[in-house]
Chain A
Amino acid sequence: MAKITIEIPDEIAFVKQKISTIEWSFLAMQILQDKIRNVARYNEILSKSKATEKDVEELSNEIKDAVWESHSKYIK
């Protein structure tokens, strides 16, 4: 089984005293599972997108133009 080392700052040493090793493993697993669930959800939604590469180009060019417009005042 893989071993994970978690550093607890001295300022919150009281947290360490109250949480057992088993609970730490459970917490780490939960956090990792949440992250993986979020990534899966993000990809699930993306796979439903009807957008094309052309749409990406078109939208990003519009945003690039507008962002540049906001900065051009500094160097004209």
Chain B
Amino acid sequence: MYLVVDPNVVISAVIKKGNISEIFSINSIIKKFDLIAPNFLVLEFGKNTRKIMEKTHFSEELMKEEVEFVFSQITFISDEEYKDKLAEAKEILKGHEKDIPYLALALAFNCKIFSGDKILKSLISDKVKTPKELLEEF
């Protein structure tokens, strides 16, 4: 089952213990969800590596291990595969434009978004799975 992950989920999985890290832990064993994300997310994550190391106090080695564990569970999708859905996603999300790429990807793959974003959940409740909801599905 495909599921789009947003930056909040990815960052949280890499740097903080909680519901999201539990989901990545279980999913790494039973592969219940096929996690997908826009390609650009990797690029932008890479630009923030130094900052992430400062916040976590991780060494380069530890950071590499965490990133590998989390990123090995995500397939990064080229914008070519969902750019046709961007206008539709914009229409649905109205002014909340920062989440357009994730909704467009979800529309293209006919799946939901795994996100802890409360605003996004309130806007498209049926399209968003919160960490708590997802944990209950295992």
- A residues sitting closer than 8 Å to B (CB atoms) are 32, 35-36, 38-39, 41-43, 45-53, 55-57, 59-68, 70-72, 74-75
Contacts and interface: CB of A to CB of B under 8 A. Distances in A.
B15 A35 contact: no
A65 B40 CA distance: 11
A59 B29 contact: no
B135 to A, nearest CB: 15
Given A35-B29, A38-B69, A67-B101, A49 B17 contact: yes
Interface of B: 6-8, 10-12, 15-17, 21, 24-25, 28-29, 38, 40-41, 43-45, 47-48, 51-52, 55-58, 62, 65-66, 69, 79, 83, 86-87, 90, 97-101, 104
A10 B64 CA distance: 39
22 contacts: A36-B29, A39-B29, A43-B17, A43-B25, A46-B17, A46-B21, A48-B56, A48-B57, A50-B55, A50-B56, A51-B15, A51-B56, A56-B16, A59-B7, A59-B48, A60-B10, A65-B98, A67-B38, A67-B41, A67-B44, A75-B86, A75-B90
Nearest to B9: A60
A64 B7 contact: yes
A71 B77 CA distance: 13
A67 B6 CA distance: 10
Given A39-B25, A39-B29, A59-B48, A49 B40 contact: no
Contacts of A65: 98
